[in-house]
Amino acid sequence: MMELFYKLVGVASAVAEEAAAAAGTTATAATATAEEVAEINPVVSIITTLLPMVLIFVVFYFMLIRPQQKKDKQVKEMLNNLKVSDRVCTIGGIYGTITQIKDDTVTLAVGNQNMTMVIARWGIRSVEEVTIENDSESLN
């Protein structure tokens, strides 16, 4: 990335030197101001103006947009892989066991008495790993 910047600066310096030689003055590239370079070559001016905006977009993409897309893909995959008898946690914090799955709804068995709840499929936060240490332990 820095090489590109140095190349652009080198192009701007060369253009300023040529302009100074053509004008018959003794100005060097080191004394050329940004306005002189912009007057000589508007393309360099546009590139130096747009470069920071492009860099900001690239940073936003890799730090915000791309991780969110990955997370959305994982959630969608988890919701598509739900099956009966999965132990899940809803967005509201309710733990239950899936007893039935229809298109966009899921029926959960909740509590000691296995009360049923019908919730939207998107309302499931996570599928829980169930480990039972002894037979007397209850899931609900």
Last residue of a domain, one of 64, 79, 94: 79
- State residue 33 phi and psi, 5-degree precision: -90, 170
- Based on the domain organization, do 74 and 91 belong to the same domain? no
Query: Average pLDDT over the chain, rounded to whole?
Result: 80
Q: Is the pLDDT of residue 15 over 70?
A: no
How many CB atoms neighbour CB 81 within 10 A? 9
Shared-domain flag, residues 68 and 92: no
- The pTM (predicted TM-score) of the whole model is 0.57
27 within some domain: yes
Range of the domain at 17: 2-79
In this prediction, residues 21-39 reach a mean pLDDT of 57
Residues near 51 by beta carbon (within 8 Å), at least 6 away in sequence = 5
Lowest mean pLDDT among 41-45, 91-95, 103-107: 41-45
Q: What is the DSSP string of 68-131?
A: HHHHHHHHHHHHHT--TT-EEEETTS-EEEEEEE-SSEEEEEETTTTEEEEEEGGGEEEEEPP-
> Residue 119's CB: how many other CB atoms inside 10 A?
19
Q: Looking at the 3D structure of the chain, how many domains does it have?
A: 2
Residue type, 12: A
Q: Are 85 and 100 in contact (CB under 8 A)?
A: no
The pLDDT tens digits for 41-60 are: 788 888 888 999 999 999 99
Instruction: Give the mean model confidence (pLDDT) for residues 99-107.
Output: 94
Residue 136 lies in a domain: no
Q: What share of the chain is helix, strand, coil (3-state, %, to 5)?
A: 55, 20, 25
Whether the per-residue pLDDT at 82 is higher than 70: the answer is yes
